[in-house]
Structure 1
Amino acid sequence: MTPAAPLSPPTDWRAVWLVVAAGVAAASHLGKVAIASPQLQNELGLNLGMLGGLGATFAVLGALGGLAAGSVVARAGDLRMLCLGLTATVLGAAIAVPTDSFAVLLMSRVVEGLGFLLITVAGPTLISRIARNEDRNMALVLWSCFMPTGMALAMLTGPWFSTWRDFWAATSMVSGLIAAMAIWWVPRGPSRLAKHEGGGSWGQVWRSPALAMAGTFLLYSLMFFALFAFLPVLLQQRMQVSTTVAGLLAAAASAVNVVGNLAAALILKRVRREALCLSASVVMGLCALGIFLPVAGPSTALALCLVFSAVGGLIPASLLSAIPEVTSGPAQGALAAGLLMQGSNLGLALGPLLIGSAVDWRGWPAAAACVVASALAMAATVARPRPV
């Protein structure tokens, strides 16, 4: 009688939630500049260009360094790089607290941004390693919630602090606490994933569906941030509400993205990823027409923003949970995660720039044209005869 194969250890959900918490903390560092902008302007005399530079640092680093971060995680180990990334966000925020210099503040954002990049690449790689096969899809879907959750938390908690310095100190302490807990509770893996697997090949990753997935992530991120970077302004114009109310409505619409992230776990049990991403891209494009064009009332436009965000959340969850299926091990998974993050950050950097220029040129209808064109490009990408 053939002996039964040994069972793999159960998924350590405490460790999974800690990794997700690390991602949420990283996203809160990304989002804190937007909510603290008035305080930064009043205290340090920063203009809108300077604030834009502080906000864009993370996207620029990710757009330039996603592939490199994937290589670093593959060579140095996922847990080690996750903790190093958290440590970088701790140090970056701490550097900023006592300063009155824009140059030092910008340098601190570079340090935080490098930490953010390491966390967002190491996170899905680490979850793929510690989750059992039957739990991996759900665990990666939970990971996909980190960005909207962290951004929404930054918007909601930022006003609680009397100064931006207190806010920065709090985010630094939270990241430090999560790093300490991760060191204690998250299972250690091979110190060098690539060496453990006999080498992680970029050639194999480039030939895999990961490249098309990165292109899809770029287009999704471009569409999402093209809308949400300007949503408060659009809501003020369409609904005639105050800046505060517009900000709260925009935060709520962004947070709805989590609903789509979580719904993907259930839908993917019945629907193929290609079909889900294709359908989501079509719905987002149609919603953009009603949001940007003067064809719907203010309440309808806001409802379409909620649908745009919720349906859009299906896409990153679908893509991130597919990484283990299109790669042959943690090292290649780290490379693929870096490629996807590079695509995501390219979209984050290009979306607001593209839409801002289009609106200046031809008004909000030009923004609708840009988003619809991106939706069509995404649909064409995922409809190609290869798995996503």
Structure 2
Amino acid sequence: MSNPAAATANGAPAAKPVEKTPSYAWPCLIVSLLAAVGIVFAWMWLPGITFPVFKNWLAENNAFFANPANFGLLSNVMGLVPIGALIMALPTTILVRKFGAKATTIIGVGCAVVGSAISAAFVGSNFYVFLAGRFILGLGLSTTVVSGPTCVSMWFPDATRGRAMAIWSCWAPVGIFLSNFVNDGVYHLVGSNMANLQWVWVAVAAVFGILFAVVFRDPRENERSQVSPERKPLKAVLKFFKSRQLWCLIIMFAIFNYMNYAFSQYLKTWLQTPEALGGFGWDATTAGLWGGLIVACGALAPLGGLILDKTPKSKKYLCVVVGILGLTICSALAFHAEFFIPYVIFFCIGNMMLNACCRPLVPTFVFKGGATAVAFGLSFLTLGQYAGQIVTSYALAPFNEGLTAASNVAINAKQAVLASGGTPADFGPAIGQAVQEAMAQGIHVDPMLAFWALVPIGVVGCLLAFGVKPSKKQAAGAPAAKPAEGEAAAQH
């Protein structure tokens, strides 16, 4: 495959795309990955410490929550980030077109740092300004996750692009795992203060952003992959988006994120919920470790990327089918303690394949349009990603309400013991009594609320995954798009 549309600045044909991965591609991949991971810490600290802990902290430290009715705003803490990301997804293409992928990534990280700083400064005083900071964080998140893989795609040729972009796609699972694992400890280390916790992650995101700015550069002419860094006019690349496969992939990716976001938000809370109320009764450290490891199974994406690279072009869609089917089966088993092991297995299959395959497939549909087309395709993918996540926080709200109430039973019992002068040795009897009272009140985890919110949507995703299958003409090697007149115009 080649990029006939690419040209040098003086009008001469561009150098032939490299077939061997340039050595400097790997440092560029690493710093692009770290830039995104740093934002995850600022985004996902709440699931890391759990909703009940945050709710109790607000009750004690923010006068706004003296009125219990205001706790209904908590769904916006996670919901506003993907809303901001959704709004910024498509405009990021304009930034890439105007400033380039590197500068756009720096803009995205900077925006996320500013938003996180606002949230840190106002979490204890003005909750609405805190939420505004979360929204701004979402703007920066979207900008970074569109421009970041665009940076990577320019460095890696067809033979290794799948695994390289799969490695980059580990940004979310790796970040979420680390967030689940370390946030409880960091929270106590900074004096159990939500503002201080967020300032820590502001600093981490800023450091990773600076590292990216120093290390990353665009590939030289003799280092370019089939995806040219050339920034064509947006109008010139629109012809590459008349693709049934691309749109099925984008919509399916939205469904994947809708389903997956439920697990990343609620898994740790469920693992800490008392057994008699439908959970596992694990302490925060154990729940953080195992919950983080499970959610981080998307870090297996490089293996999925290798599978994608080795799969024949006409069969690559099956990698997507296997992924969404695994996640749908996982959703049917989720939050049932008796099905925990098969739930984890199918969750890992779904995340490994979908994190590995979706982003790398976008350049295969639009690579002839250069960096602009790849960024535009990834913008639509990101649009689908955060559209799915926005819906999750609200569609799963009834399930989360019961889950939070059940998890709070143990938390409140422990706090009552300590407040009365007791010791951790007294936790067991106190929790046992509190659980009995909760059961009498009908408090428990209802997994069927999650089932009906997730599984039917997953079935739709499976059907869309089959839509990624290439036509017989494309499978035989014909170009996905007609050689439009605009291609020649794009060179001028």
Report the TM-score range of the alignment, normalised by the length of the smaller protein.
0.7 to 0.9
Structure 1 range deviating more: 137-146 or 46-55: 46-55
Q: Structure 1 residue 16: deviation in Å?
A: 0.8
Cα deviation, 1:86-138, whole Å, max 9, x if unaligned, reads: 11222223334443222332222222221111101111111111223333222
Partner of 2:30: 17
Pairing of 1:185-200 with structure 2 (within 5 A): 185-188=215-218, 196-199=231-234
Within the candidate set 324, 327, 351, 1:284 is matched to 327
Q: Name the CA distance, whole Å, in 2 between partners of 1:26 and 1:359.
A: 25
Partner of 2:345: 307
Cα deviation, 1:322-375, whole Å, max 9, x if unaligned, reads: 121111221010001110011111111112422345798995335324433222
Pairing of 1:42-121 with structure 2 (within 5 A): 42-45=60-63, 46=65, 48-99=71-122, 100-121=125-146
Partner of 1:33: 46
Is residue 150 of structure 1 aligned with residue 175 of structure 2? Answer: yes
Partner of 1:206: 241
Q: Name the CA distance, whole Å, in 2 between partners of 1:256 and 1:195.
A: 35
Is residue 179 of structure 1 aligned with residue 213 of structure 2? Answer: no
Partner of 2:381: 340
Structure 1 range deviating more: 143-152 or 249-258: 249-258
Partner of 2:199: 169
Q: Name the CA distance, whole Å, in 1 between partners of 2:17 and 2:257.
A: 42
Taking structure 2 as the reference length, the TM-score comes to: 0.69
Letter in 2 for 1:349: I
Letter in 1 for 2:326: V
Q: Name the CA distance, whole Å, in 2 between partners of 1:360 and 1:102.
A: 20
| Maintained 8 Å contact 2:85/2:140 | no
Is residue 136 of structure 1 aligned with residue 161 of structure 2? Answer: yes
Q: Structure 1 residue 230: deviation in Å?
A: 3.4
CA RMSD of aligned residues (A): 3.0
Cα deviation, 1:190-234, whole Å, max 9, x if unaligned, reads: 9xx997335454633531333221101011111212344333454
Q: Name the CA distance, whole Å, in 1 between partners of 2:171 and 2:296.
A: 11
Bigger Rg, structure 1 or 2: 2
Q: Name the CA distance, whole Å, in 1 between partners of 2:264 and 2:208.
A: 29
Runs (5+) with no aligned partner, structure 1: none
Runs (5+) with no aligned partner, structure 2: 1-14, 221-227, 403-444, 472-492
Letter in 1 for 2:354: I
**Partner SS, residue 160 of structure 2:** helix
Same amino acid, percent of matched pairs:
17
Higher relative contact order (CA 8 A, sep 6+): 1
Q: Name the CA distance, whole Å, in 2 between partners of 1:200 and 1:129.
A: 21
Partner of 2:261: 225
Q: Structure 1 residue 247: deviation in Å?
A: 4.8
Is residue 250 of structure 1 aligned with residue 282 of structure 2? Answer: no
**Partner SS, residue 230 of structure 1:** helix
